[in-house]
Structure 1
Amino acid sequence: MEALLDFVGEIYEAAYKPDHWDHVVERLCCDLLKAKSGALLFEDRQTNTRSMIGAYGLPAAVRASYRFGIAKYDHTFQLQREMPVGEASQITDAEQVRKNHPFYYRMILKPNDIGFISAINIYNDDEWHVGIGLHRSFSAPPFSKQECKTLQLLYPHFSRALRIHREFHRLRTRQQSLHEALSRFMVGLIILGPDGRVTYKNPVAEQLMTQHAGLTLHQDRPKAHYADEDQRLQRLIKKQLHSDPGNVDNRTEALGVHHPDREMNMNIIVTPLAGADRLSEQPGSVGLYLSDPDSALNLPATALQSLYNMTPKEANVAIALSNGLSPSQISEQHGVSIDTVRSQLKSIYSKMGVNKQQDVIRVLLSSAQVQ
């Protein structure tokens, strides 16, 4: 029982450390159930993909081939589909498989010396199928009922840990997608943690600070070029770090910062970010949105096509607007009539959910918080 309790801790550690699943399967095989090899098998029924998220005693080629297609020949995993969730039993005897499924026997069992397989389903629904398979060699004894019962006792812990594992995976995937979207975002974005240090900056922010030295980063903290503007910036950041993001009256404040080499100021909007907001990693985070009216961002039109389902021409018009051009200037620059530009603007407003040109940048700013 002490060994089981210790092992349960390993299961929950793997919930948030995916690389630890290999160690969990190793301990399950070696310390608890005396198996020569084993695997934690995962089938995502929404993407129709299969993988081993944890394995022990299997050649790397087997693990890789499982992910790249051999899984569809896994007779054992197919048998597991028919098993009740949470009930462990021995489901494979190699001698029986050799008669009924010779291909699987020749491809998997015989070359890997797998004579007996004990298994349990952790999940088996429309979302996913997750199961554990443990293997013994041809020369070893079959799995006993008591050994299957031991595996069954661990079921609720595997169930909870794998659900946590799944949610962490989704969060990591969303975070990766968010960073990819923000990398294409046409407004500079800097996120500060509760200590006022930079935790994220997108490429546009880096580009703007390179072009306009009114704002720089010093020891991972934003710093304005002129002392009086920097004092005001630091006061705003400190205020927003301690403000309530849910209070719309305290939602945003703005200032302009200058540099002797640039005629126009850089505009900075300072806003608190809620801890539950996917932009912020923790409560007390602050976002700085940067724009420079004198700098053309020259972002690819494909960014807006992806974010707002615009046509290539509409995306070019939106980018021109963001760079301060008027409809007549856009008409001249693109070689089209003003009526064509106005028609494109109507479509842009509809797709962005706005009614006028001034709202385009506002929506682009706020859209970063709902990606």
Structure 2
Amino acid sequence: MTLLKIGRGRGLNHFSDLEKDLISVLVRHIRQFMRLCNHIEHLEIERNICHDVIDKFSLASIVLDQRGLVVHINGSAEKLLRITPELCIDTGRVVIDDFAAQEKFEGIIARMLAARHSDAPCQSETMRISRDGHSLDMGLAIRPLAGARDISPGAPAIAVFIRDAGLCSSAPITVVSELFALSPTESRVAVLLADGLSLVEITEFLGMAHATVRTHLRSVFKKMGVDRQALVVRLIITSVANLA
């Protein structure tokens, strides 16, 4: 609660018309200032919530503001950037070590920012980054962030999600277990499949007999309602487990 009290000296019991006009203008500006402060406070809360949510993603995520500059990078993205020469952050911008891919990325960002400023509908877009010497590329999902029309520098505007198929899935085993009602061992088998390991490699990794691993895999098939390893992989990498 804010209280504004305007007084006058002794013997001056009445406000002149000019003084009343000045007070009216003063009160109007104070109200506007208070609304602005309240709006800024809400925007700051929104930004903190956005960054806090992004930080909890195991999926590599980068947040850009309304200028296309990087304002937040989660831990998974920091790790990925350290080992990926094809992608980096330079002077606050996402830089791709491929001219055609960089042009495409900048075009997507420009379209999303233009749509944001004009209130036009805007859809998420995806693209691929080729990796020299690797058979598996990186995939980028780029989407506008909904929320208040905050166009100030540093305001979250666009999220860039990066999936490196060459790295292991970071889906937590406990989350996969809960999502698909799998036992801990079944979850480990399913997650290792999503990481790209073969049954022979999973057998060696877990130190189990091949027949035992196949038994667990059959149970995974039954509980997940699929009949192929590829479908197990698809269900895991497209589930919310990778965001947990």
Work out whether the TM-score is over 0.5.
yes
1:225 equivalent in alignment to 2:105: no
Q: What is residue 14 of structure 2 aligned with on the other side?
A: none
Q: CA deviation at 1:233?
A: 1.5
Q: What is residue 213 of structure 2 aligned with on the other side?
A: 337
Q: What is residue 53 of structure 2 aligned with on the other side?
A: 178
Contact 2:186–2:219 (CA under 8 A) maintained in structure 1: no
Counterpart CA distance in 2 for 1:344 and 1:238 is 44
Q: What is residue 124 of structure 2 aligned with on the other side?
A: 252
Q: What is residue 190 of structure 1 aligned with on the other side?
A: 62
Q: What is residue 3 of structure 1 aligned with on the other side?
A: 5
Q: What is residue 290 of structure 1 aligned with on the other side?
A: 162
Contact 1:274–1:283 (CA under 8 A) maintained in structure 2: no
CA RMSD of aligned residues (A): 4.6
Counterpart CA distance in 2 for 1:172 and 1:224 is 26
Aligned counterparts, 1:88-237, within 5 A: 178-182=53-57, 185=58, 187-237=59-109
Contact 2:127–2:140 (CA under 8 A) maintained in structure 1: yes
Deviation string 1:19-74 (CA, Å, 9 cap, x unpaired) is xxxxxxxxxxxxxxxxxxxxxxxxxxxxxxxxxxxxxxxxxxxxxxxxxxxxxxxx
Q: CA deviation at 1:299?
A: 6.7
Counterpart CA distance in 2 for 1:232 and 1:286 is 15
Deviation string 1:169-192 (CA, Å, 9 cap, x unpaired) is 99688557624522xx2x211122
Q: CA deviation at 1:345?
A: 5.1
Counterpart CA distance in 2 for 1:339 and 1:246 is 53
Q: What is residue 239 of structure 2 aligned with on the other side?
A: 363
- Using CA pairs below 8 Å that are at least 6 residues apart, which structure has the higher relative contact order? 2
* Structure 2 unaligned regions, length at least 5: 7-25
Q: For structure 1, which segment, 211-220 or 336-345, has the greater mean C-alpha deviation from structure 2 after superposition? A: 336-345
Counterpart CA distance in 1 for 2:80 and 2:147 is 27
Counterpart CA distance in 1 for 2:213 and 2:45 is 47
Counterpart CA distance in 2 for 1:315 and 1:263 is 27
Task: Provide TM-score, normalisation by structure 1.
Answer: 0.42
Q: What is residue 16 of structure 2 aligned with on the other side?
A: none
Contact 1:197–1:221 (CA under 8 A) maintained in structure 2: yes
One-letter amino acid of the counterpart of residue 339, structure 1:
T
Counterpart CA distance in 2 for 1:320 and 1:217 is 31
Counterpart CA distance in 2 for 1:275 and 1:241 is 14
| Structure holding more strand per residue | 1
Contact 1:198–1:221 (CA under 8 A) maintained in structure 2: yes
Q: CA deviation at 1:315?
A: 4.3
Task: Provide TM-score, normalisation by structure 2.
Answer: 0.60
Q: CA deviation at 1:346?
A: 4.8
Kindly tell me: are residues 319 and 356 of structure 1, through their superposed partners in 2, closer, same or farther at Cα, counting changes over 3 Å? closer
